[in-house]
Chain A
Amino acid sequence: MAHFVLPNSGHNYDPESSKLGMWLFLFTEILLFGGLFIVYFVYRTINADAFLRASYELNITMGTINTIILITSSMTVAMAITALQKGKEKFAINLLWITLLFAIAFLINKYFEWSIKIEHGIFPGMEHYNGLETGQKLYFFLYYFMTGLHALHIIVGAIFIGFVIKGIQEEKVTANRISLLENSGLYWHLVDLIWIYLFPLFYLIN
């Protein structure tokens, strides 16, 4: 029997396809959150006043801090790509670590935000929540569901970036094989994008 070696075996690197695949995945994410935003708009149309009253419970300062955190972390990921393209692995890794720190800061902030509300009894099933009018209940339900799903994406994105850091250290992700870093960046920016809409719609409208 002849010994066969498949051409390209184990070394298929196709940056264009993997980027296209990542974008297609991001489109499904857009539609996932998009569906929730439609629910939000429908209930807001029906319960405009109740949504408004409920939104005053949210802390604008905390929301603004989290917005700044996410926008800045998007910049550090984008800069990490620039750094790796220029061959500065060390700097790229540091920038990604900073991004992870921002992700943790975002989650800690979110944790305090949620716990303050839960302490006040505002969580589906709790006494204070049950006494609210329907529109306010819907608002808080959507608030927990959408920011919760978003926080889950932050966690996934942070794990993804963790793998990329490992990849750069092991020289599997380099200036010539940058796809993994680029895709983690795309994912991270999408998470930022979703927050860009969540923040004004839940915290700011008056």
Chain B
Amino acid sequence: MEDHTKEKQHIVSYKENFGTWLGLMLLTALTVAVSVVNASLITLTVVTALVIATTKAILVAYYYMHLKFEPKIYRIMLLIITLLFSSFMLLTVLDYLSR
């Protein structure tokens, strides 16, 4: 019975944690740079901002929140919530854009 409390966990190494940090910092630098440079060719639109932010969010969820190492059900649940929220968002924005 005692064995039950001992989880067989994946231990994320310090190196992986640092690697994730590095990736997040690079993406942050990218968004800030694109915004500050403000060249007429590259401006930070809502879409670009969201794409970069979502890449960062996936990094955080997969590595820091250990989603990569959890049973599949966690990823499925998160996917359902994301789809639910995206459809709310899409329907609302479509409504306002089509008025």
Contacts and interface: CB of A to CB of B under 8 A. Distances in A.
Q: What's the dominant secondary structure at chain B's contact region?
A: helix
A45 B20 contact: no
Contacts of A45: 93, 96-97
Contacts of B72: none
A55 to B, nearest CB: 10
A18 B93 CA distance: 36
A200 B31 contact: yes
B36 A60 contact: yes
Given A13-B5, A60-B35, A79 B28 contact: no
Interface in B64-99: 64-66, 70, 74, 77-78, 81, 85, 88-89, 92-93, 96-97
Contacts of B12: 78, 81-82
Q: What's the dominant secondary structure at chain A's contact region?
A: helix
B12 to A, nearest CB: 6
Interface stretch (A109-117, A165-173, A188-196): A188-196
A147 interface: no
B77 A23 contact: yes
Contacts of B9: 85, 178
A24 to B, nearest CB: 8
A34 B13 contact: no
A177 B6 CA distance: 8
Interface string A100-133: 0000000000000000000000000000000000
A206 B81 contact: no
Interface of B: 5-7, 9, 11-14, 17-18, 20-21, 24-25, 28, 31-32, 34-36, 38, 43-46, 49-50, 52-53, 56-57, 60-61, 63-66, 70, 74, 77-78, 81, 85, 88-89, 92-93, 96-97
10 closest residue pairs by CB, A with B: A204-B35, A200-B49, A75-B21, A78-B64, A78-B17, A34-B85, A71-B24, A85-B11, A189-B64, A196-B56
